[in-house]
Amino acid sequence: MAKKEKINVQRLDFNLTGFSEVKMLSTETGFALSPKQWITKTNAIGIISKAGRYGGGTFAHRNIAFEFASWLSPEFKYYLISEFERLKIDEQHTKSLEWNLQRTLSKINYRIHTDAIKEHIIPNVVTKEQITYTYAEEADLLNVALFGMTAKQWRDANPNVKGNIRDVATLEQLVVLSNMESINALLIQQQLTQGERLVQLNKVAITQMRSLVENRNLKRLK
C-alpha cells in the first residue's frame, strides 16, 4: 500500500504579504486580478495558469473550481449541494444493505451451525433392542434415553477422553437430565416397566432438548 504523503504547511511558502496587498486592492473600484497575477503575488498552489493557444488555459483543483463555480452560479451551487445530499443518502442506503446482508448471512450460517448441533445433540428414538434390554443401573437408563448409550459404551467409544459421559454433556443436556431424574421417579411409582420408562424418558429428552435448542436460537437470531 502506498504511503500517504503528508503535506507540510510550512513548505507551501504562501506569500502573506502579497495576499495582504491583493486583499487591500480588492476594495477599490475596478479592481481586477488574473489567475496568473494571483499565483505570482501569493505563490498560491492548486491553480495553474498557462499562456498559449493550444496548451494554455487555467486549471484548478476541483475544490477551488467548485467554489469558484458556486460563486458565479447559484444554480450550480444548488446542484452541487443536491448531488452531495443524494450521494450521502445512497451511501447510507448501501451501508444499510451491506449490514442487512451481513445480518442475513449471519443468521443463515448460525442456522446451519444449529442444524449441525441438532443432529448431534437431539436424542435419537430408542431402538427395540434398547427397550427390551435390562439396565443394571437407573443412571444408565437415563443415559440411554438422553445420550443413546450407556456409560460403558461411551467410555469404550472415547478411551482418550477424561471423565464420563455426563462430564462432557452440554448445559442443555444436564438440565434435561435433571428433569428426567424427577420424571423417572414418578414413573417408578406408577410401576411402569423399565422398557416402558425408557420409551417415556426418551420422548421427554427429545421434546425438552429440541425446545431448549430452538429457544436458544431464537434469542440469538433477534
Residues 65-102: pLDDT tens digits?
888 888 888 888 888 888 888 888 888 777 666 666 55
Half-sphere exposure of 156 (CA within 13 A, CB side): 5
Q: Coil, strand or helix: which one is 175?
A: helix
Which has the closest alpha carbon to 201: 130, 151, 153, 152? 130
Q: Is residue 101 part of a domain?
A: yes
Same domain, 110 and 169: no
Side chain identity at 95, as an amino acid letter? K
Side chain identity at 155, as an amino acid letter? R
Same domain, 98 and 40: no
How distant is the alpha carbon of residue 190 from its chain centre? 53
Rounded to the nearest 10 degrees, the angle between the axes of helix 171-189 and helix 138-147 is: 130
Record the pTM.
Answer: 0.46
Same domain, 188 and 100: no
Same domain, 161 and 203: yes
Q: Average of pLDDT values for 120-139?
A: 84
Local confidence band at 211 (pLDDT 50, 70, 90 cut-offs) = confident
pLDDT recorded at residue 221 = 42
Side chain identity at 174, as an amino acid letter? L
Contact 49, 58 (CB under 8 A): yes
Q: Average of pLDDT values for 185-192?
A: 88
Reading the block at residue 185, the C-alpha cell is 421417579
Same domain, 129 and 147: yes
Share of the chain above pLDDT 70, in %: 78
Q: Is residue 3 part of a domain?
A: no
Contact 135, 141 (CB under 8 A): yes
Q: Average of pLDDT values for 159-176?
A: 87
Which has the closest alpha carbon to 41: 59, 61, 26? 26
Tell me the pairing of strands 47-50 and 57-60.
Answer: antiparallel
Split into its structural domains, the chain has a count of 3
Share of the chain above pLDDT 90, in %: 16
Dist. CA 218–CA 213, nearest whole Å: 9
Averaging pLDDT over each range in 6-10, 15-19, 59-63, 193-197, which range is the top one?
A: 193-197
Dist. CA 163–CA 168, nearest whole Å: 8
The residue segments making up the domain with residue 107 are: 74-121
Same domain, 149 and 205: yes
Same domain, 83 and 56: no
Same domain, 214 and 135: yes
Q: Coil, strand or helix: which one is 124?
A: coil
How many residues in total does the chain contain?
222
